Structure 1
């Protein structure tokens, strides 16, 4: 079985409810930040590592995303009639992605610094890891309110709670997806299993990051893009 990831899954199916009126007539990944749709910022990072395949899942108002992604040779996984959440959506897209480990990437964040997919690719160790999550320290997570998601031990293994924020990029082995009986489920189910087995790891991102999940995040992200410092 293939050991290194050569496919990227872009999560683009969500409703974007926190964006309020901005997603009334378009999906959240098509909201513009610094003159480009959010999905363009994510796709640029994905294309830069030259994967064999890039796929995206679509559900809410899919037509603008289809029109944008098809000319970029992105494979499309339409979730219909129901949205499948991250785990169900990834499993639904596996015929497009292949059997090996895959990158997954949220499409509502801006990264300032090295390409997080490349960093994860360099740090990936399938002998020890079932998943590697790129995480951002709270003091470099622009606009983050509340605490972090994870902490790590000396070897990088993850536990819940702490000052690391999951940035939305990971490498994940997909075999456990087939063991989940539910059609709609979160990847948190797999993460919990991997953490219990000591095979869930984090990579600390050295740059800065901004979640664009709410309208205020657009200005914060644009300021981050134009900032001189990393």
Structure 2
């Protein structure tokens, strides 16, 4: 049962410049609310009850914001652990999976991407399912893309699909990975070699908040009427 989401919130947000001097990136406001609250709204609407976030940079500020929302916290100290290491450290809170992992610095416009992933997930054939966005439907992202899909939905590197920062992942390979600090890219390579890495294509639009200008772009996207 997909009842857990891992929210990645530990990063330094250095590309945001002065905006992250006094706060962590997930607390930067977009359209009047912190970035991470946009992610939490999607999680809540999808009915995912167990929410876990990893913290490192200005962890106390994020903890004060997230604890009242019922989010379980995984503090990374003294070093930041990257996505794979962060998930591995949080496994006592997430349980054995499978689970959603979600970046907290993007904005989705369209149907709830967690609902779409859940509807596409086939655990008998998949170990990971990545939500991807066609490059032409992204905002704040330049070419090239990240991935391509074959007719069966298997995903390979290179192509015009952008990873949207959301996936469903089985965690066994994360748990037994030898390193403490590592990216989930290392896990994807293992799953791809096994023929168990798949992708889904998001039908809406998506904005990356990778730099200060991304805030304006995201707010413009959110102001557009939904079809």
Tell me the secondary structure at the aligned position of residue 203 of structure 1.
Answer: strand
Residue from 130, 138, 143 that aligns with 2:140: 143
Number of positions where the alignment pairs a residue of Structure 1 with one of Structure 2:
227
TM-score, reference length from structure 1:
0.97
Per-residue CA deviation, residues 185-217 of structure 1 (Å, 9 max, x unaligned), is 000011001111111000100000000011010
- TM-superposed deviation, 1:229: 5.0
Counterparts of residues 191-210 of structure 1 (less than 5 Å): 191-210=188-207
| CA–CA distance in structure 2, aligned partners of residues 187 and 109 of structure 1 | 18
- Is residue 228 from structure 1 mapped to residue 220 from structure 2 by the alignment? no
Per-residue CA deviation, residues 64-122 of structure 1 (Å, 9 max, x unaligned), is 21111101100000001010000000010111111120100000000000111111011
Per-residue CA deviation, residues 146-183 of structure 1 (Å, 9 max, x unaligned), is 21000010011000000000000100000001221111
Does the 8 A contact of 2:140 with 2:207 survive in 1?
Answer: yes
- Is residue 95 from structure 1 mapped to residue 92 from structure 2 by the alignment? yes
Tell me the secondary structure at the aligned position of residue 223 of structure 1.
Answer: helix
Identify unmatched segments of 5+ residues in structure 2.
none
Provide runs of 4+ in structure 1 moved above 6 Å.
none
- Is residue 172 from structure 1 mapped to residue 169 from structure 2 by the alignment? yes
Tell me the secondary structure at the aligned position of residue 156 of structure 2.
Answer: strand
2:21 is matched with 24
TM-score, reference length from structure 2:
0.98
| CA–CA distance in structure 1, aligned partners of residues 226 and 177 of structure 2 | 44
1:69 is matched with 66
> Over aligned residues, Cα RMSD in angstroms?
0.9
Identify unmatched segments of 5+ residues in structure 1.
none
- Is residue 156 from structure 1 mapped to residue 153 from structure 2 by the alignment? yes
